[in-house]
Amino acid sequence: MIFNTISGRRRAKKILVLLVSIVVLLYLLAPIYWVVVSSFQKEIALQDRPPHYFPSAEVFTTNHYYFIFTGVIPPNSTIMLQSMYTMRGTLVYPAIINSIIIASIVTIINVVVGFPAAHIFARYRFFGDRKVFLLLLATRLLPSISIVVAMYILLLRLDLLDTKLALVGIYSAITLPFTIWILRAYFHNIPVEFEEAARLDGCRYIRMMTKVVVPLARPGLIAAAIFAFMASYGEFVFATILTQTIRSQTQTAVLASLSQGMSTSRGMIAAAATLSILPPLLLAIVFRKHILEGLTARLGL
Amino acid sequence: MAFLRLESITKRFPGCLAVDRLDLDADEGDFVVLLGPSGCGKTTTLRIIAGLEIQTDGQVILGGRDISDVPPERRDMAMVFQNLALYPHMTVFDNIAFYLRNIRRPKDEIRDRVAKAANRVQIGELLDRYPDQLSGGQRQRVALARALVRSPKVFLLDEPLAALDAKLRAGMRSEFKLLHKSLVEEAGGVSGTFIYVTHDQVEALTLGTRIAVMNEGRIAQIASPSDLYRRPRNIFTATFVGSPEMNLLEGKLQRANGDAVFRFRNLEVDAGAKGLAALGRAKEETIPAIMGIRPESIHLVRGETLKALDAEIVTLELLGQSNLLMLKIDDLPLTCLANPDIALRENERIAVRFEAESMHFFDPKTEESLLVDEE
Amino acid sequence: MQSPYERKRFRQTSLFAYRIILPSLVFILFFIAYPLLYSFIVAFKEYKYGVPTGKIIWFQNFIDIFTKSTVAPGFYNSLVVTMKFTLVAVVAVVVISLAIALLINQQFRGSGLIKVALLLPYAIPGAVSAVIWAWIYDPSFGVMNGVLNGLGIIDEYITVAADPRWALWAILFAYVWKFVPYSTFLFAAGLATIPSSVYEAARMDRAGSIRAFFKVTLPLLRPVLQMVLVIQTIFALVMHFGLVFVITQGGPGDATRTLAWLVYVESFTFTRFGRGAAMAIILALIMIVFIYLYLVVLNPERRLKRREAP
């Protein structure tokens, strides 16, 4: 029997691992592949049965992107398609820009405000430290849908509905506890002696932070910044309820409303989705090491 | 008044007294070693001197000024950490120059001083490297250079050799000694004070000009290396310093025909002048005592000699320059260092003699020495 | 216990620490704590759009939710849907992610590729993944229909999102896709800490690989498993919102009307803010109960400790 020898078992295991890997990769990548491929297909081709899994040159088009970026219906498109390009599609690009702006500001706030706070929680014992930290953790568990109603009413009164400012504030509040949480865990893995050495080398707080702590904690800081960015970039509940116009709408809000239109061009929706996922995917791939380390940092393993 | 003085320093952590009313004086040019087992409070004491830890009570006085409330960055002390704490993101040069940059010295001064400090510990060619490109010994030198470049008032060294392997450690130990010597000579005796923490008695005995043996937050004895070895003030010091450990025998010290004898079990040994001194000090004819004798002060005697004790060799270890014997005298275990030229076997019965001049006597209750302290 | 020295230093440190963490606290107090408090007030009011002050009716909103004939059945149904979804989602995510983590842990060539592939669904915003899956499920042009049809599993294109039998499963499938990677990373990190010598010892003791998994791997993974359970339950209770919003809008009928969706509908479709806030509080309470169950009841060590130290 194949399983009774070491080499036989090894071969059987190799085949099994290969098969399972293919299934897993297909499951993970096929949806993304399909949306990207769809975004480059002619609307009419998208209706073909069976679908063009590997599209040929004759179904290829960049019209959907052309419309999203210019708002001009491509002259070579069919009458049917012309009616399917809603002007909402042109909001996709500004919405992505909104998302990037909001997420960037939130990220900066997390770095400037959350990083030193995490350092304080990791290194100092002070009045009420545990209680305040638990309070921070508790806010992590609160479902956003639970406060969005109250938030809506409050922002309505403050006349802050449909502003980027409101989203920046909310996203900062949501992401800061997480940032503080993982960075605190990260600091626990950095020997405190570096900071003590810096002290004895004549550094006061600010100089110690900039010259020693930040360089040492950089991988963790990058991971925390990316988490903050991705969380703000992809947030949906607040974005869709607290925004109304492109003044503040983020890509998730625009995309969700775009996909609600029954007769909207499917190709254009696919193109919009492809554009939306581009920034976080690029970040994820470029900083994959930081993300993987950061995700598991707070396990304390 | 001493240059650096700790006055009644106490440090209490939740549920533990780390340092207990500790007094210590150190002069400029002194090399003081804090020696003790782990958890005796020696590192805490060092950190209190550095200002990294705030004492519960007592004062740290430097050059006549109470610096208890001065933050570490303004105490002008350099520290070599146990894990060295070389900044991994800086080159060797930047590591050494960091302090000088922090106090904003001019560029060429920094360059000169860094080069001088680096050459002093022979790492002049490594200045462009990063710490993770260095060997353990080289890193050690960088840490040292980082302290040297400052010419600080106090050098604090926390088990700086602990991370090295045995061979490197011996080499660095002698370099430390040379370095300290040359610093003191150059400065004409007014160079900084060294405070060195270790649990390794060989390091302590070879490096220190004065050694403070610490136990449970207190100083058990502070003395020069030779005094510490020859005149331990209590059982803790007596057994902690010296390897193999000093033998202890419980019994009675008695006057007999004008001489002093030490009786234990139903045996008796001559207690010599030290025994007489202890009896004289106590003004008694007989006192309970613990006699301590180092393994090298137990001698083997061939044949029937007067006052020799009958012993059995339990095990025999060859150490090279001597043989370590585990003996049994009337069921009492003893260790003894013997000349390797004498051929011996395990289980052999032999006669031994205790060298009376090398005996130590301690009070069984207080564990303090019964001899007049010569300090 | 503390000396004046230490008290002074502690006071200085505390002042300094609060100066640094204050900005973070301000954000959290203003944008989370304050609205949370306010949502309690709203929950005690008959608060409708156009009646901005609202009348205080204390627990009437809560009583209505549980008893009023026009509200309670829908609410109970949403509880059932939520529980069903949460249970299946948590089990599915845990099993699948643990399986993938075990696969990655084999350290074969290509395991790095799977790690990168896992990052993609993780990085894609939930709402965008909802759009992607809505497109895949599309009844007329969806690729899922194309594939199933091509494989001969179905004869005609089906409308999963609008079919009460399939709608919740469609949401679930998309949800699992998005949330498996995160748990996989946690499990993989946990597996990486188990030294191979443990497995070698198990093999010498003649434990087969299945037995080794249950007797060695799982017990050692316990802390991670517990953490994944907590996180996944919290996620499953609310993070499906974007998927429901985009793919089914709670439908067909009430097949995918979860509690989170009901809060949204009550508040923003029917603008009954008071009742919506009350439901939101109930949702938060359910979450707290789950976390308590996982952390305290399921953890025998903690129970033991409690018994020892009264």
- Span A125-179, pLDDT tens digits: 999 988 999 888 888 778 888 888 888 888 988 899 989 999 999 999 999 998 9
Does A199 reach chain B within 8 Å, measured CB to CB?
Answer: yes
Q: Cα A152 vs. chain centroid, distance in angstroms? A: 23
Work out the average pLDDT over C32-60: 79
Q: In whole angstroms, what is the distance from residue A89 CA to residue C101 CA?
A: 39
Cβ <8 Å between A200 and B83? no
Who among B12, B54, B57 is closest to C9 (CB)? B54
Per-residue model confidence (pLDDT) at position A175: 93
3-state secondary structure of B189: coil
Q: In whole angstroms, what is the distance from residue C55 CA to residue A17 CA?
A: 64
The answer to whether A245 and A158 have CB atoms below 8 angstroms apart is no
Q: Is the pLDDT of residue A260 over 60?
A: yes
As given in the structure block, the two tokens for residue A156 are: 């309505």
Phi and psi at B360, nearest 5°, equal: -125, 145
The CA distance from A190 to the nearest CA of chain B, in Å, is 10
Cβ <8 Å between A201 and B73? yes
* Helix (H), strand (E) at residue B361: strand B360-362
Does C200 reach chain B within 8 Å, measured CB to CB?
Answer: no
The CA distance from A203 to the nearest CA of chain B, in Å, is 6
Question: Contacts of residue B78 in chain A, CB cutoff 8 Å?
Answer: 200
Q: Which pLDDT tens digit goes with each residue over A194-203?
A: 999 999 999 9
Helices assigned H by DSSP within chain B: 42-50, 92-102, 107-120, 136-148, 166-187, 201-207, 225-230, 235-240, 272-282
Per-residue model confidence (pLDDT) at position A44: 77
The CA distance from C7 to the nearest CA of chain B, in Å, is 9
How many C-alpha atoms does A177 have within 13 Å on its Cβ side?
A: 23
3-state secondary structure of B8: strand
Per-residue model confidence (pLDDT) at position C307: 44
Q: Can you list the positions of beta strands (E) in chain C?
A: 45-46, 55-56
Cβ <8 Å between B54 and C1? no
Which of B17, B54, B55 to probe by mutation at the C interface, max C CB count within 10 Å? B54
As given in the structure block, the two tokens for residue B273 are: 């002048």
Instruction: Identify the band that residue C303 occupies on the pLDDT scale cut at 50, 70 and 90.
Output: very low
Q: Is the pLDDT of residue A279 over 70?
A: yes
- Give ∠ CA A255-A260-A263 in degrees, rounded to 5: 110
Q: Is the pLDDT of residue C304 over 50?
A: no
* Helix (H), strand (E) at residue B18: strand B16-26
Q: In whole angstroms, what is the distance from residue A286 CA to residue A226 CA?
A: 11
Compare all CA atoms of chain C with the CA of A17 and give the residue at the minimum distance: C103
Q: What is the mean pLDDT of chain A?
A: 87
Question: Going by C-beta distance under 8 Å and a sequence separation of 6 or more, which residues neighbour residue B81?
Answer: A193, A196, A197, B143, B158, B160
3-state secondary structure of B166: helix
Which residues, numbered 341 to 370 in chain B, qualify as contacts with chain C under a Cβ-Cβ cut-off of 8 Å?
Answer: none
Chain B neighbours (≥3 Cβ pairs under 8 A) are A, C
Who among B79, B83, B88 is closest to A200 (CB)? B79
What strands lie across the sheet with B31-35, from one edge to the other?
B77-80, B154-158, B193-198, B31-35, B210-215, B218-223
By percentage, how much of chain A surpasses pLDDT 90? 41
Which residues, numbered 205 to 264 in chain B, qualify as contacts with chain A under a Cβ-Cβ cut-off of 8 Å?
Answer: none
CB-CB neighbours of A208 under 10 Å: 22
Work out the average pLDDT over C186-210: 82
Question: Contacts of residue C288 in chain A, CB cutoff 8 Å?
Answer: 141
Instruction: Identify the band that residue C207 occupies on the pLDDT scale cut at 50, 70 and 90.
Output: confident
Residues A163-187, buried b or exposed e (16+ Cβ, 10 A)?
bbebbbbbbbbbbbbbbbbbbbbbb
The CA distance from C108 to the nearest CA of chain A, in Å, is 9
Which residues, numbered 138 to 157 in chain B, qualify as contacts with chain A under a Cβ-Cβ cut-off of 8 Å?
Answer: 146
Q: Cα A47 vs. chain centroid, distance in angstroms? A: 31
Does C4 reach chain B within 8 Å, measured CB to CB?
Answer: no
Residue C165 CB burial class (10 angstroms; 0-12, 13-18, ≥19): exposed
Who among B50, B82, B89 is closest to A215 (CB)? B89
Work out the average pLDDT over C197-219: 80
The H helix count followed by the E strand count for chain C is 15, 2
- Please report where in the chains the tokens 């060429």 appear, as a residue: B108
Which of B49, B96, B98, B104 to probe by mutation at the A interface, max A CB count within 10 Å? B98
The answer to whether A21 and A15 have CB atoms below 8 angstroms apart is no
Per-residue model confidence (pLDDT) at position C69: 79
- Please report where in the chains the tokens 């030193």 appear, as a residue: A116
Per-residue model confidence (pLDDT) at position C41: 84
Q: Cα B144 vs. chain centroid, distance in angstroms? A: 20
- Give ∠ CA C206-C209-C214 in degrees, rounded to 5: 100
Q: Which pLDDT tens digit goes with each residue over C66-88?
A: 888 787 788 888 999 999 999 99
Compare all CA atoms of chain B with the CA of C6 and give the residue at the minimum distance: B56
End-to-end CA distance of chain A: 40
Does C6 reach chain B within 8 Å, measured CB to CB?
Answer: yes
Residue C94 CB burial class (10 angstroms; 0-12, 13-18, ≥19): middle
Q: In whole angstroms, what is the distance from residue C244 CA to residue C80 CA?
A: 16
Helix axes C72-104, C60-67, angle to 10 degrees: 80
3-state secondary structure of A127: coil
Who among A120, A266, A292 is closest to C20 (CB)? A120
3-state secondary structure of B62: strand
The answer to whether C262 and C65 have CB atoms below 8 angstroms apart is no
Instruction: Identify the band that residue C148 occupies on the pLDDT scale cut at 50, 70 and 90.
Output: confident
Helix axes A115-123, C4-28, angle to 10 degrees: 150
Q: Is the pLDDT of residue A1 over 70?
A: no
Q: In whole angstroms, what is the distance from residue B226 CA to residue B215 CA?
A: 20
Classify the complex by whether its ipTM is higher than 0.90, answering yes or no: no
- B231-B237-B239-B240 Cα dihedral, nearest 10 degrees: -130
Q: Is the pLDDT of residue C228 over 80?
A: yes
* Helix (H), strand (E) at residue A169: helix A164-188
Chain C neighbours (≥3 Cβ pairs under 8 A) are A, B
Does B106 reach chain A within 8 Å, measured CB to CB?
Answer: no
Which residues, numbered 154 to 193 in chain A, qualify as contacts with chain B under a Cβ-Cβ cut-off of 8 Å?
Answer: 191, 193
Cβ <8 Å between B81 and A204? no
By percentage, how much of chain C surpasses pLDDT 90? 25
Cβ <8 Å between A29 and C47? no
Cβ <8 Å between B54 and C5? yes
Helices assigned H by DSSP within B225-360: 225-230, 235-240, 272-282
Per-residue model confidence (pLDDT) at position A301: 42
The answer to whether C128 and A234 have CB atoms below 8 angstroms apart is yes
Q: Which pLDDT tens digit goes with each residue over A72-116?
A: 777 776 766 777 777 777 888 999 999 999 999 999 999 999 999
Of residues C209 and B127, more confidently modeled:
B127
Does C120 reach chain A within 8 Å, measured CB to CB?
Answer: yes
As given in the structure block, the two tokens for residue B325 are: 């014997």
Question: Contacts of residue B56 in chain C, CB cutoff 8 Å?
Answer: 2-3, 5-6
Which residues, numbered 44 to 63 in chain B, qualify as contacts with chain A under a Cβ-Cβ cut-off of 8 Å?
Answer: 50-52
Q: Which pLDDT tens digit goes with each residue over C108-126?
A: 788 888 888 999 999 999 8
Which of C1, C2, C6, C7 to probe by mutation at the B interface, max B CB count within 10 Å? C6
The CA distance from B308 to the nearest CA of chain A, in Å, is 57
Question: Contacts of residue C235 in chain A, CB cutoff 8 Å?
Answer: none
Which of B77, B87, B110 to probe by mutation at the A interface, max A CB count within 10 Å? B87
Cβ <8 Å between B56 and C5? yes
The answer to whether A230 and A104 have CB atoms below 8 angstroms apart is no
Question: Contacts of residue C35 in chain A, CB cutoff 8 Å?
Answer: 147, 150-151, 154
Cβ <8 Å between B98 and A201? yes
* Helix (H), strand (E) at residue B337: strand B332-338
Cβ <8 Å between A139 and C33? yes
Helix axes A218-234, A92-109, angle to 10 degrees: 140
Per-residue model confidence (pLDDT) at position A123: 92
* Positions of chain B with pLDDT under 70: 1, 189-190, 303-306, 372-375
Cβ <8 Å between A201 and B99? yes
Q: Is the pLDDT of residue C272 over 90?
A: no
By percentage, how much of chain A surpasses pLDDT 70? 96
DSSP code of residue B81: B
The CA distance from B207 to the nearest CA of chain A, in Å, is 24
Q: Is the pLDDT of residue A9 over 60?
A: yes
Q: Which pLDDT tens digit goes with each residue over A28-65?
A: 999 999 999 888 888 777 777 778 888 888 888 888 88
Does B72 reach chain A within 8 Å, measured CB to CB?
Answer: yes
Per-residue model confidence (pLDDT) at position C189: 87
